[in-house]
Structure 1
Protein backbone atom coordinates (compact mmCIF):
# COMPACT_ATOMS: atom_id res chain seq x y z
CA UNK A 1 0.00 0.00 0.00
CA UNK A 2 1.37 3.39 -1.00
CA UNK A 3 1.61 6.06 1.66
CA UNK A 4 -0.01 9.41 0.98
CA UNK A 5 2.73 11.99 1.42
CA UNK A 6 0.15 14.70 2.19
CA UNK A 7 -1.44 12.83 5.09
CA UNK A 8 -0.17 13.54 8.55
CA UNK A 9 -1.02 12.11 11.92
CA UNK A 10 -2.06 15.49 13.29
CA UNK A 11 -5.61 16.00 14.44
CA UNK A 12 -7.76 16.55 11.35
CA UNK A 13 -11.11 16.95 13.06
CA UNK A 14 -13.11 19.88 11.73
CA UNK A 15 -16.40 19.55 13.57
CA UNK A 16 -16.87 21.12 17.00
CA UNK A 17 -13.37 22.52 16.98
CA UNK A 18 -12.36 25.98 18.19
CA UNK A 19 -11.97 27.16 14.60
CA UNK A 20 -15.48 26.06 13.57
CA UNK A 21 -17.15 27.45 16.67
CA UNK A 22 -14.96 30.56 16.60
CA UNK A 23 -16.04 31.28 13.03
CA UNK A 24 -19.69 30.86 14.00
CA UNK A 25 -19.15 33.21 16.95
CA UNK A 26 -17.51 35.73 14.64
CA UNK A 27 -20.49 35.63 12.26
CA UNK A 28 -22.96 36.01 15.14
CA UNK A 29 -20.99 38.94 16.56
CA UNK A 30 -20.82 40.56 13.14
CA UNK A 31 -24.60 40.32 12.75
CA UNK A 32 -24.98 42.21 16.04
CA UNK A 33 -23.82 45.38 14.22
CA UNK A 34 -21.40 46.66 16.82
CA UNK A 35 -23.19 45.46 19.94
CA UNK A 36 -21.21 43.40 22.41
CA UNK A 37 -22.40 40.29 24.26
CA UNK A 38 -21.00 38.01 26.92
CA UNK A 39 -19.98 34.38 26.60
CA UNK A 40 -23.26 33.05 28.00
CA UNK A 41 -25.41 34.86 25.43
CA UNK A 42 -23.00 33.91 22.65
CA UNK A 43 -23.22 30.20 23.55
CA UNK A 44 -27.03 30.41 23.63
CA UNK A 45 -27.15 32.27 20.31
CA UNK A 46 -24.81 29.68 18.77
CA UNK A 47 -27.12 26.89 19.92
CA UNK A 48 -30.22 28.67 18.59
CA UNK A 49 -28.53 29.47 15.27
CA UNK A 50 -27.56 25.84 14.66
CA UNK A 51 -30.80 24.35 16.02
CA UNK A 52 -33.37 26.94 14.92
CA UNK A 53 -36.23 24.45 14.71
CA UNK A 54 -36.05 24.14 18.51
CA UNK A 55 -37.64 27.59 18.83
CA UNK A 56 -39.30 27.85 15.41
CA UNK A 57 -40.90 24.56 14.43
CA UNK A 58 -41.72 25.87 10.96
CA UNK A 59 -38.13 25.96 9.81
CA UNK A 60 -35.27 23.57 9.26
CA UNK A 61 -32.23 23.84 11.47
CA UNK A 62 -28.76 24.54 10.15
CA UNK A 63 -27.51 21.34 11.81
CA UNK A 64 -29.38 18.03 11.87
CA UNK A 65 -31.17 17.10 15.07
CA UNK A 66 -29.29 14.89 17.48
CA UNK A 67 -30.38 13.26 20.72
CA UNK A 68 -29.80 15.28 23.87
CA UNK A 69 -28.42 18.19 21.81
CA UNK A 70 -29.35 20.58 24.59
CA UNK A 71 -26.18 19.35 26.34
CA UNK A 72 -24.27 21.41 23.78
CA UNK A 73 -25.09 24.48 25.86
CA UNK A 74 -22.79 23.15 28.56
CA UNK A 75 -20.20 21.27 26.54
CA UNK A 76 -19.54 23.98 23.94
CA UNK A 77 -18.78 26.70 26.46
CA UNK A 78 -15.08 25.76 26.74
CA UNK A 79 -14.68 25.28 22.99
CA UNK A 80 -16.50 28.57 22.35
CA UNK A 81 -14.01 30.32 24.64
CA UNK A 82 -11.13 28.70 22.74
CA UNK A 83 -12.72 29.77 19.44
CA UNK A 84 -13.13 33.35 20.65
CA UNK A 85 -9.51 33.38 21.81
CA UNK A 86 -8.43 32.13 18.38
CA UNK A 87 -10.41 34.85 16.57
CA UNK A 88 -9.05 37.45 19.01
CA UNK A 89 -5.48 36.26 18.37
CA UNK A 90 -6.05 37.06 14.69
CA UNK A 91 -7.52 40.47 15.62
CA UNK A 92 -10.90 39.50 14.16
CA UNK A 93 -12.90 40.55 17.22
CA UNK A 94 -12.58 42.82 20.23
CA UNK A 95 -12.83 42.03 23.92
CA UNK A 96 -14.34 44.57 26.31
CA UNK A 97 -13.66 44.36 30.03
CA UNK A 98 -16.47 46.08 31.94
CA UNK A 99 -17.70 46.22 35.51
CA UNK A 100 -20.42 43.75 34.44
CA UNK A 101 -18.00 41.23 32.96
CA UNK A 102 -16.23 40.33 29.73
CA UNK A 103 -17.98 41.12 26.45
CA UNK A 104 -17.15 40.29 22.84
CA UNK A 105 -17.74 42.43 19.80
CA UNK A 106 -17.06 42.30 16.07
CA UNK A 107 -14.70 44.88 14.63
CA UNK A 108 -13.95 46.23 11.17
CA UNK A 109 -11.74 43.25 10.32
CA UNK A 110 -14.60 40.89 11.23
CA UNK A 111 -16.82 42.10 8.40
CA UNK A 112 -13.94 42.21 5.90
CA UNK A 113 -13.01 38.63 6.76
CA UNK A 114 -16.60 37.37 6.74
CA UNK A 115 -17.11 39.03 3.36
CA UNK A 116 -14.87 36.34 1.88
CA UNK A 117 -17.05 33.51 3.18
CA UNK A 118 -19.42 32.53 0.42
CA UNK A 119 -20.26 28.87 0.98
CA UNK A 120 -23.90 27.88 1.32
CA UNK A 121 -23.27 27.00 4.96
CA UNK A 122 -21.70 30.40 5.74
CA UNK A 123 -24.49 32.29 3.96
CA UNK A 124 -27.13 30.28 5.85
CA UNK A 125 -25.25 30.88 9.08
CA UNK A 126 -25.45 34.62 8.45
CA UNK A 127 -29.16 34.39 7.66
CA UNK A 128 -29.94 32.26 10.71
CA UNK A 129 -27.82 34.54 12.93
CA UNK A 130 -29.85 37.56 11.82
CA UNK A 131 -33.06 35.72 12.56
CA UNK A 132 -31.96 34.63 16.05
CA UNK A 133 -30.72 38.11 16.91
CA UNK A 134 -33.95 39.72 15.71
CA UNK A 135 -35.96 37.30 17.81
CA UNK A 136 -33.93 37.44 21.03
CA UNK A 137 -32.05 40.77 21.10
CA UNK A 138 -34.62 42.43 23.36
CA UNK A 139 -34.59 39.56 25.87
CA UNK A 140 -32.73 40.50 29.02
CA UNK A 141 -30.11 38.01 30.17
CA UNK A 142 -32.58 36.78 32.77
CA UNK A 143 -35.39 36.36 30.20
CA UNK A 144 -33.07 34.53 27.78
CA UNK A 145 -31.89 32.19 30.55
CA UNK A 146 -35.51 31.54 31.54
CA UNK A 147 -36.42 30.79 27.90
CA UNK A 148 -33.61 28.22 27.77
CA UNK A 149 -34.50 26.74 31.17
CA UNK A 150 -38.16 26.27 30.21
CA UNK A 151 -37.40 24.77 26.79
CA UNK A 152 -34.23 22.76 27.37
CA UNK A 153 -36.08 19.59 28.44
CA UNK A 154 -37.75 19.50 25.00
CA UNK A 155 -34.61 20.03 22.89
CA UNK A 156 -33.45 16.67 21.64
CA UNK A 157 -36.19 14.80 23.46
CA UNK A 158 -37.85 13.69 20.22
CA UNK A 159 -35.35 10.83 20.22
CA UNK A 160 -36.49 9.55 23.62
CA UNK A 161 -39.58 7.86 22.23
CA UNK A 162 -37.58 6.49 19.30
CA UNK A 163 -35.22 4.71 21.72
CA UNK A 164 -38.20 3.18 23.52
CA UNK A 165 -39.42 1.70 20.24
CA UNK A 166 -35.96 0.40 19.36
CA UNK A 167 -35.42 -0.92 22.88
CA UNK A 168 -32.27 1.10 23.58
CA UNK A 169 -33.22 1.89 27.16
Structure 2
Protein backbone atom coordinates (compact mmCIF):
# COMPACT_ATOMS: atom_id res chain seq x y z
CA UNK A 1 0.00 0.00 0.00
CA UNK A 2 3.08 2.26 0.11
CA UNK A 3 2.42 3.31 -3.45
CA UNK A 4 0.33 2.19 -6.34
CA UNK A 5 1.11 2.71 -9.97
CA UNK A 6 -0.97 5.11 -11.99
CA UNK A 7 -1.70 4.35 -15.61
CA UNK A 8 1.17 6.63 -16.61
CA UNK A 9 3.47 4.44 -14.45
CA UNK A 10 4.38 7.21 -12.02
CA UNK A 11 3.95 6.23 -8.36
CA UNK A 12 0.87 7.71 -6.73
CA UNK A 13 1.13 9.34 -3.36
CA UNK A 14 0.40 7.41 -0.20
CA UNK A 15 -2.77 9.48 0.04
CA UNK A 16 -4.57 8.14 -3.02
CA UNK A 17 -8.12 6.89 -3.56
CA UNK A 18 -7.36 3.43 -2.14
CA UNK A 19 -6.05 4.73 1.18
CA UNK A 20 -8.78 7.37 1.39
CA UNK A 21 -11.31 4.65 0.58
CA UNK A 22 -10.05 2.47 3.42
CA UNK A 23 -10.34 5.47 5.74
CA UNK A 24 -13.90 6.10 4.54
CA UNK A 25 -14.87 2.46 5.14
CA UNK A 26 -13.30 2.62 8.63
CA UNK A 27 -15.26 5.80 9.44
CA UNK A 28 -18.55 4.53 8.03
CA UNK A 29 -18.07 1.14 9.68
CA UNK A 30 -17.51 2.81 13.06
CA UNK A 31 -20.57 5.00 12.50
CA UNK A 32 -22.96 2.33 11.19
CA UNK A 33 -25.94 2.69 10.80
CA UNK A 34 -25.41 6.44 10.76
CA UNK A 35 -24.94 8.11 7.38
CA UNK A 36 -22.83 11.13 6.40
CA UNK A 37 -22.82 13.44 3.42
CA UNK A 38 -19.71 14.06 1.35
CA UNK A 39 -18.79 17.28 3.15
CA UNK A 40 -18.86 15.59 6.58
CA UNK A 41 -16.81 12.68 5.25
CA UNK A 42 -14.21 15.07 3.85
CA UNK A 43 -13.86 16.74 7.25
CA UNK A 44 -13.84 13.41 9.11
CA UNK A 45 -11.20 12.05 6.73
CA UNK A 46 -9.03 15.06 7.51
CA UNK A 47 -9.56 14.68 11.26
CA UNK A 48 -8.91 10.93 11.09
CA UNK A 49 -5.27 11.44 10.17
CA UNK A 50 -4.86 14.47 12.46
CA UNK A 51 -6.62 13.24 15.64
CA UNK A 52 -3.85 14.62 17.85
CA UNK A 53 -4.80 18.13 16.72
CA UNK A 54 -8.30 17.74 18.11
CA UNK A 55 -7.53 16.26 21.52
CA UNK A 56 -7.56 12.66 20.44
CA UNK A 57 -5.02 9.88 20.07
CA UNK A 58 -1.68 10.60 18.43
CA UNK A 59 -2.14 11.61 14.78
CA UNK A 60 -1.59 8.94 12.13
CA UNK A 61 0.17 11.37 9.81
CA UNK A 62 2.90 13.79 10.85
CA UNK A 63 2.05 17.45 11.39
CA UNK A 64 2.72 19.68 8.43
CA UNK A 65 2.46 23.42 8.02
CA UNK A 66 -0.70 24.69 6.37
CA UNK A 67 -2.76 21.59 7.19
CA UNK A 68 -5.90 23.64 6.62
CA UNK A 69 -5.05 23.70 2.89
CA UNK A 70 -5.47 19.91 2.87
CA UNK A 71 -9.22 20.39 3.18
CA UNK A 72 -9.28 22.18 -0.16
CA UNK A 73 -7.86 19.25 -2.12
CA UNK A 74 -9.42 16.45 -0.10
CA UNK A 75 -12.97 16.65 -1.52
CA UNK A 76 -12.11 15.16 -4.93
CA UNK A 77 -9.96 12.50 -3.31
CA UNK A 78 -12.70 11.41 -0.91
CA UNK A 79 -15.30 11.43 -3.69
CA UNK A 80 -13.08 9.18 -5.87
CA UNK A 81 -12.44 6.97 -2.84
CA UNK A 82 -16.16 6.55 -2.13
CA UNK A 83 -16.83 5.62 -5.75
CA UNK A 84 -14.03 3.03 -5.62
CA UNK A 85 -15.36 1.50 -2.39
CA UNK A 86 -18.91 1.44 -3.79
CA UNK A 87 -17.72 -0.90 -6.58
CA UNK A 88 -16.96 -3.52 -3.91
CA UNK A 89 -20.08 -2.99 -1.75
CA UNK A 90 -17.94 -1.49 1.00
CA UNK A 91 -19.85 1.80 0.85
CA UNK A 92 -23.48 2.50 -0.01
CA UNK A 93 -24.91 5.78 -1.28
CA UNK A 94 -28.51 6.73 -0.65
CA UNK A 95 -30.46 9.69 -1.95
CA UNK A 96 -31.89 11.81 0.85
CA UNK A 97 -33.98 15.00 0.77
CA UNK A 98 -30.85 17.05 1.53
CA UNK A 99 -28.52 15.22 -0.91
CA UNK A 100 -26.60 11.97 -1.03
CA UNK A 101 -25.66 10.19 2.18
CA UNK A 102 -23.08 7.44 2.55
CA UNK A 103 -23.03 4.45 4.89
CA UNK A 104 -21.05 1.27 5.37
CA UNK A 105 -21.84 -1.27 2.68
CA UNK A 106 -22.70 -4.93 2.94
CA UNK A 107 -19.07 -6.07 2.84
CA UNK A 108 -17.65 -3.37 5.13
CA UNK A 109 -17.58 -5.37 8.38
CA UNK A 110 -15.89 -8.38 6.79
CA UNK A 111 -13.38 -6.10 5.02
CA UNK A 112 -12.56 -4.17 8.19
CA UNK A 113 -12.07 -7.42 10.11
CA UNK A 114 -9.34 -8.44 7.66
CA UNK A 115 -7.29 -5.28 8.27
CA UNK A 116 -4.65 -6.26 10.79
CA UNK A 117 -1.48 -4.26 10.16
CA UNK A 118 -0.29 -1.83 12.83
CA UNK A 119 -1.23 1.26 10.80
CA UNK A 120 -4.63 -0.20 9.89
CA UNK A 121 -5.41 -1.18 13.49
CA UNK A 122 -4.51 2.38 14.56
CA UNK A 123 -6.70 3.74 11.77
CA UNK A 124 -9.72 1.72 12.96
CA UNK A 125 -9.14 2.77 16.58
CA UNK A 126 -9.00 6.44 15.59
CA UNK A 127 -12.09 6.09 13.40
CA UNK A 128 -13.99 4.70 16.40
CA UNK A 129 -12.72 7.51 18.63
CA UNK A 130 -13.61 10.15 16.05
CA UNK A 131 -17.14 8.85 15.52
CA UNK A 132 -17.70 8.55 19.28
CA UNK A 133 -16.40 12.10 19.80
CA UNK A 134 -17.83 14.01 16.82
CA UNK A 135 -20.03 11.60 14.89
CA UNK A 136 -23.34 12.53 16.44
CA UNK A 137 -22.91 16.30 16.27
CA UNK A 138 -25.52 18.15 14.26
CA UNK A 139 -24.24 19.78 11.08
CA UNK A 140 -24.22 23.15 12.86
CA UNK A 141 -22.31 21.79 15.88
CA UNK A 142 -19.82 19.99 13.65
CA UNK A 143 -19.21 23.12 11.54
CA UNK A 144 -18.52 25.06 14.75
CA UNK A 145 -15.95 22.44 15.82
CA UNK A 146 -14.26 22.51 12.42
CA UNK A 147 -14.26 26.30 12.37
CA UNK A 148 -12.60 26.41 15.79
CA UNK A 149 -9.82 24.02 14.76
CA UNK A 150 -9.44 25.61 11.34
CA UNK A 151 -8.96 29.02 12.98
CA UNK A 152 -6.34 27.52 15.33
CA UNK A 153 -4.43 25.95 12.42
CA UNK A 154 -4.51 29.15 10.39
CA UNK A 155 -3.29 31.15 13.37
CA UNK A 156 -0.58 28.60 14.19
CA UNK A 157 0.92 28.55 10.72
CA UNK A 158 0.17 32.07 9.52
CA UNK A 159 3.28 33.95 8.53
CA UNK A 160 3.04 37.47 9.90
CA UNK A 161 4.84 39.95 7.69
CA UNK A 162 5.85 43.38 8.94
CA UNK A 163 4.00 46.30 7.47
CA UNK A 164 5.91 48.15 4.77
CA UNK A 165 3.68 51.18 4.59
CA UNK A 166 3.93 52.82 7.99
CA UNK A 167 5.91 53.30 11.11
CA UNK A 168 6.48 50.31 13.32
TM-score scaled to structure 2, two decimals? 0.83
- TM-superposed deviation, 1:80: 0.4
* Residues 1:130 and 2:136 aligned together: no
* Residues 1:116 and 2:76 aligned together: no
Runs of 5+ consecutive residues of structure 2 not aligned to the other structure: 1-6, 162-168
- Given that 1:17 and 1:79 are in contact with CA atoms closer than 8 Å, whether structure 2 keeps it comes out as yes
Structure 1: distance between partners of 2:49 and 2:154: 13
Equivalent residue runs for 1:19-98 within 5 Å: 19-56=18-55, 59-98=57-96
- TM-superposed deviation, 1:160: 5.1
Name 2:142's counterpart in structure 1. 144
In the alignment of these two chains, the number of paired residues is 155
Deviations 1:13-52 (A, max 9, x none): 2412111111111111111122111111111111111101
Structure 1: distance between partners of 2:25 and 2:69: 22
SS state at 2:141 partner: helix
- Given that 1:18 and 1:86 are in contact with CA atoms closer than 8 Å, whether structure 2 keeps it comes out as yes
Two-structure CA RMSD over aligned residues (Å): 2.1
- TM-superposed deviation, 1:150: 2.2
- Given that 1:68 and 1:157 are in contact with CA atoms closer than 8 Å, whether structure 2 keeps it comes out as no
- Given that 1:22 and 1:86 are in contact with CA atoms closer than 8 Å, whether structure 2 keeps it comes out as yes
Given the superposition, is the C-alpha separation of residues 9 and 137 from structure 1 closer, same or farther in structure 2, using an over 3 Å criterion?
Answer: closer
- Given that 1:67 and 1:156 are in contact with CA atoms closer than 8 Å, whether structure 2 keeps it comes out as no
TM-score scaled to structure 1, two decimals? 0.83
- Given that 1:65 and 1:156 are in contact with CA atoms closer than 8 Å, whether structure 2 keeps it comes out as no
- TM-superposed deviation, 1:60: 1.7
